[in-house]
Amino acid sequence: MRLDAGWLDCAEQCVSPNCDERPADTAISLLVLHNISLPPGQYGGSAVAEFFTNRLDCDSHPQFASLRGVRVSAHLLLRRNGSWIQFVPFGLRAWHAGVSCWQGAERCNDYSIGIELEGTDSDPYCEVQYGSLLRVIRLLARAYPITDVVGHCDIAPGRKTDPGAAFDWRRIDGWKSISDQPAMR
């Protein structure tokens, strides 16, 4: 597993238009973990990739109606089988965090990498997901000055709950949620 011009070499590339330039001289110092499944609780399929690339047919499922016109992305999606899809190169700003703040710094999209885990707040994540996630965290921490790995819930408390109670922070080898104890590199 390596990085090549901001792309993870083992990831399928599915380029999203929902990104832009980071502010000048902004270091990537934060990893934000999310979860997603479309429809909720259903795994596999192409709906998440279609959503992140503005191709989701919002009439194809009743749960998709609220997503009409929403423009979001993430850098990476980690499937339940441990495989990766990358939507945005790491040097660009993906639109994953929304209104957010970490340790007094707002606009977390400016300085973070967004990683979506295929899952829900309540379904246990897969063993292979934890292993693949840990490898990517270590790779990104070597490439960028990452200081913290947090959940979306930590940067948008009261608004977001992911990656949820089902995510076991202990499984990513010492990286902790701020809600448990200070995040460590």
Out of 12, 116, 118, 127, the active site residue is 116
Cβ atoms of 19 and 88 within 8 Å: the answer is yes
27 Cα distance to chain centroid = 18
**Nearest to residue 88, comparing CAs of 108, 109, 74?**
74
Smallest Cα–Cα separation from 115: which of 91, 149, 139? 149
Query: 101-102 and 105-106 as β-strands: parallel, antiparallel, unpaired?
Result: antiparallel
Start-to-end C-alpha separation, the chain: 20
Active site residue 50: no
Strands (E), 26-151: 30-36, 76-78, 84-86, 92-94, 101-102, 105-106, 112-118, 148-151
Cis peptide bond prior to 163, omega within 30° of 0: yes
Structure tokens at 130: 């934890």
Residues with catalytic roles: 116
